[in-house]
Chain A
Amino acid sequence: MIKVIVGRLLQLIPVLGIILTLTFFMSKVVPGGPFSAERQATPEVIAKLNAYYGLDRPLWEQYLTYLGNVVRFNFGPSYTYQSESVNEVIARAFPISLQIGTLAFCIALIIGVTAGVVAAANKNKLWDYFPMSLSMLGICLPTFVLGPILALVFGLVLKLAPVSGWYGLNYVPFHPMIMPAVTLGLFYAAYIARLTRGGMLDILSQDFIRTARAKGVPDHEILLKHALRGGLLPVVAFLGPAFAGLISGSFVVEKVFNVPGLGQEFIKSVFNRDYPLILGTVAFFGTLIVLFNLVSDIVQALLDPKSRK
């Protein structure tokens, strides 16, 4: 087991290498540069800036310098935030996205799994159709629609939460992270509900469920003791990358609620051609994906004795 984990962690190195290389060259191919904003600087100033950041040197030299820095965990300065390095930007924005994402994940997991199990237990009855149509609605409803609706109802009408913003808001009773987390969480809950239902129905049709019934095991124990472990396997496979995606921040939700999280920084860095910040956030996101895929594989192995080595 430990061998497998170490092996997977070592895979991180080539994966990140490939991701960074591709992103590096792709971001250079995109026309424009970090200093070609609408407020045009004089050519002399731009030339000086380019020279300062080393952008006037040949591409391969820039690439090698960059890789050399990355190995020392130095992702360079941000071109947009002149006073901050890429590491500092991530360290500032990530905790916000992490909080929102973790809360959203818990909401998604609890609501999604419960709805899926209830639906599977009542296949083709009211308590299947009801949660499943809600989940279909949840999947179809984009977060940029659900977010403003929640802001309207809970922020403007009920005045339970701030409509937007993050710093300096000591709003009672809802913390500013709650509404973005609910918006994100409900969307993922809808997806998890469908996955759970599918997984549970698959397991419930297996021979060993018939065996359990023949033993006189009560229905709720069949559901929770016999079926849930296997039924959750497809969900767990989805949860790893989903968690990585959630905690690295959603641009849309962060924009809607004006939350200064990592998702916003990522998108802004692309618009600003902030090459080091693009690469830094991409590498960070890649690492999260690999890590949480590994976590979800470990959880799967814990659930499914056959897949253990």
Chain B
Amino acid sequence: MSSNRPLRYLSDLDYSVVQQCMHCGMCLPSCPTYLETGKERNSPRGRIALMRAIADGDLEVTKEFGEEMYYCLGCLACTTACPAGVDYPELFENARAEVEHQDVMFHPDRRFWRWLTLHQLFQDQTKLRIVGRLLWIYQISGLAKLVRKSGLLRLAPANLRELEPSTPKIARRFSDQLIESRESPEGSAPRYRVGLLTGCVQDLVFSGVNRDTADVLIENGCEVITPRSQGCCGSLHAHNGDLELAANRARAMLDQFDVSSLDAIITNAAGCGSHLKHYGNLLKDDEAYAEKAREWDRKARDISEWLVEIGFRAPEPGPTETSGTSSATYHEACHLCHGQKISQQPREILAAIPGLELAEMRDATHCCGSAGVYNITQPEQASKLQKEKVAHICATGASIVATANPGCHLQIENGLPEESEVSVCHPVSLLAAAYRAERG
């Protein structure tokens, strides 16, 4: 614990941020937890009222308050609905930081898991990769099947036992084995020079999406710079009440990229993008990093945002294109559509793919329940949202559901019925496949 952290996060926050909410109620119908319970405290304006009460000194930071802050998905749907422009992410992150700082949710298990994840694994990608590799061996060696059959899992704590079947399948090779630290378009001189973020979970579970992102960038004239062993961008820490560790991660990211030499810094994970576009605010008081962080913010782009911005090339139908079309539906990751207001660009990418038809699902912008680690901390509410989402996906009859966030990807995949033939895919992977198909 460092000694220079502010004493009180909420009361030290610029009061106008708290005051910005005029409690008109426009956010209520957008909030998944309010719709579930109909209780004001489970709504955005209710939560802000509690934060304001704490800032005003009318309410202590209590366990109840902490639980409420963790019942919030942080899906940010309220920010899209809010005409008054309330900066909910800022409020929400500071509220959780306040909860952690006051330690009102103390429990030995909780403390252990927070230490292991926030302080260890997601601080150092090497450690995370070691765990990932062990998990991979466990999964492919048949040991996993054996353990499930043997009933050994009964010895594990209940929450672990329930989570085991939904453990993400670790990739055979991680990003650094798939992507060179520098790759350039063949033949012509590159039009742009971009940095590629490989992420933490994305690196372990969806390294293929990272490869596809690099391919698509190269195909569109970008030279791609991919620093080794990058690790978590800090969004996990910021969303879980540790702004100090988040700032550490931000500094580590800034150290790895020569920001001024790049035209853009590309991420393909919505949750990361939504966070890492705000390094400037996170490091505003850090003289050594503030300026670089602001430049980073200006250059950070989601992959679909960047592709549309530079006018990506629509793939031609390939020589081996089979007749007939397949249909895809698009699930909007909260931190893409609400966190970054990016809705149209992924659809433009999907629309450009030969032989792919877009079938819109109902409530595409509704949260799937993944919400970072929400499906672990609040399994009941997460599972309700997951069921709803999967039902809307299945109702479209589409064979592919495209989504641009690893959390959503896993949540939807785990929620699809066993007999379902729907596959989950990042829009960029579909685009990369279409470019490959051009060449036959």
Same complex for A and B? Answer no
**What residues of chain A have their CB less than 8 Å away from a CB belonging to chain B?**
none
